[in-house]
Amino acid sequence: MTHIRTRLLDALDESMNAKTAWLEFSVGGGHDRFDLQFFLLRQLRAGYFHYELVEADLERGWDRYVNFLFPAKSKGVVWPLPKPGNVWNGKETLTITEVDFEMVERYLKDMLTKTGGYFSVAGHGTPLSMAETEQLVRDFFAETYPAANYHYRYFTILPDFLRTEHESDASDYTLPGYFEAAGRDFVLVIVGYEGDEADTVDVLMTGGYS
């Protein structure tokens, strides 16, 4: 994970009292009529979306979705073993809304400054100043999504397709959850196009603790 992406995720965690995840998918060629809903549902059904979440969680050092093994012949090497289950709740229709870049900036600035314009305000957490936020958002997009030969489309998804942590608690933790249903759950999808063909799908998710 790049330094600027880590800075953004850490800042979101802190300002929103949340956990954040960054998931990356490769689309491959031949998708000039790319269907985001179809693509994401395929990842969810196959369990690949959950796999990416586990990997992202490990990369952040949180280890919520794994147990650790200490094999006898591993010479001190610890192996993470994914816990059973899938955070997807089985919802077959995603509520996807395309937004422009200015709206993406407004969402991120609201989350990072803790102003309460679009999201509930966390009782804990430390927001950034508007000047710090504008610099971070500007640096993030400049470094992560340079113009080059790509162009990008932005989408939000209603955060109702993964189990909540409350549902996980009610199942005695046999079902993994992600969202918190506390007014600070958010899903942003950035689709990168090379010419007319979709090539990459990045997903930013937040789950704000109550």
User: Whose CA is closest to 188, among 81, 36, 43, 79?
Assistant: 36
Whether residue 30 has pLDDT greater than 80: no
pLDDT (tens digit, 9 = 90+) per residue, 158-174?
999 999 999 999 998 89
Task: Give percent of the chain above pLDDT 90.
Answer: 72
Token reading at 24: 């990356």
Over residues 22-40, mean pLDDT: 86
- pTM score: 0.92
Over residues 15-19, mean pLDDT: 93
DSSP symbol at 17: T
Asked if 187 and 156 touch (Cβ cutoff 8 Å), the reply is yes
